[in-house]
Amino acid sequence: MSGPGPTRREPVAARVLQRFSGGSSEHREDELVVEEPLEIRLGDDPLAVLMRTPGHDMDLAVGFLFSEGVLRDPAQLLLVEYCADITDDARGNIVRVRAEGADPKAAEAARREVYASSSCGLCGKTTLATVRLLAPDLTPPPSLAASLLRSLPARLLESQSLFARTGGLHAAGLFDQQGNVELVREDIGRHNAVDKVLGAMARDEVWPLSGRILVLSGRASFEMVQKAAMAGIGAVVSVSAPSSLAVDYAREAGMTLAGFVREDRLNVYSGEVVP
């Protein structure tokens, strides 16, 4: 399913800075998270350009197509590969997905007419009407324990190796309903981290992702909750705030949504959580 890859593009780069502390300063080298464009092609047709952190690019491309409803079944995937017939500067920054039965309307709705920045997964959408995708019916999760949900952000942080080096990445983690981590991905973009998780599971032919909990290192926007719903995930936990639209969508879909989750507290906006 995957083609050969190019020379690895590193997710971290060194830059010299001047640090002030007290009454003195020094020049030193610091590690920064890399931000580069990734072009996603469906067949030979360019579909989107996402600003992302290099790493797990094929997962990101596949996850993007699944979370946007362009693909819905792992059996549709034929090949995922880096494009080789390109310039050296672009090598490692263009991924081609070959698939059968892709939804042309969803593909057109997902098309980015401009660069999608690492902070906004919806930038470049032609209209807001294209945002509300038809997600599959969700099976409501069982009542989850507050103590379990409060423990998940710390477990996510334990797997954030690049964040420990740079302090500049978001993360998304997939957990089972007992709190065991299944997969964690990091990226400078919150939505990219989620798509990397979804793409990895789809490429492993584990789909839909019912019975899982999605844990986010940042805020729970509408798009993040929608991505979870598209994958059949019934519970989303965020260390920050949800948006009003995210709460409305979670309630409509029958999802559990918790925000401001810490070791000693959490807010439940949708679903049933027990003490």
Domains of the chain and CATH, by start:
36-128 (3.10.20.10), 144-274 (3.40.140.10)
Rounded to whole angstroms, the Cα distance separating 161 from 159 reads 6
**Mean pLDDT along residues 22-34:** 88
| Residue that is written with structure tokens 């995210």 in the block | 246
What pTM value is reported for the model?
0.89
Residue of 120, 145, 241, 245 marked active site: 120
120 annotated active-site: yes
Asked whether the predicted pLDDT for residue 57 surpasses 90, the reply is yes
Structure tokens at 174: 């997939």
* Percentage above 70 pLDDT, the chain: 89
Q: What is the pLDDT of residue 127?
A: 39
3-state secondary structure of 88: coil
Nearest CA to 54 out of 164, 185, 206, 232 is that of: 185
pLDDT digits (tens, 9 = 90+) for 85-122: 777 777 889 999 999 999 998 898 888 654 566 666 65
Nearest CA to 140 out of 242, 272, 17 is that of: 272
